[in-house]
């Protein structure tokens, strides 16, 4: 079991981490990890679970992070084709 690392070492509010990013915890043995650094970062800060995520959870996190929905090369929204799929953070 890993120990959370407190990253809230800012000396003033101009450099404080955004809400939800105060405590970082690395993946532990047996946790699912993603090949995507963004998803791993969200899991390391406890925003996404390491057991798998559903489209609504992923969509909510992407909206919170203000990720542009049309960032694929073909301009199609990221989640168009997976409405009935459960995404695994694996």
Longest Cα separation, the chain:
45
Are 52 and 89 in contact, with CB atoms under 8 Å apart?
yes
pLDDT (tens, 9 = 90+) of the chain, 90 residues, equals 555 555 555 445 566 666 767 788 888 888 877 777 887 888 888 877 777 656 677 777 777 776 655 444 544 444 444 433 344 444
E strand map for the chain = 5-6, 23-24, 53-54, 86-87
What phi and psi, each to the nearest 5 degrees, are found at residue 79?
-100, 10
Q: Residue ranges of the domains in the chain?
A: 28-90
What phi and psi, each to the nearest 5 degrees, are found at residue 40?
-65, -40
pTM, full prediction: 0.43
Q: Tokens 């390491």 map to which residue?
A: 50
């Amino acid at each position: 079991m890993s120990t959370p690392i407190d990253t809230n070492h800012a000396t003033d509010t101009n450099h404080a981490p955004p809400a939800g990013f105060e405590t970082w915890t690395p993946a532990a043995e047996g946790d699912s990890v993603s090949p995507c650094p963004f998803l791993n970062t969200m899991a390391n800060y406890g925003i996404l679970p390491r057991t798998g995520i559903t489209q609504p959870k992923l969509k909510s996190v992407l909206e919170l992070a203000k990720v542009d929905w049309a960032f694929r090369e073909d301009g199609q929204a990221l989640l168009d084709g997976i409405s009935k799929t459960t995404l695994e953070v694996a």
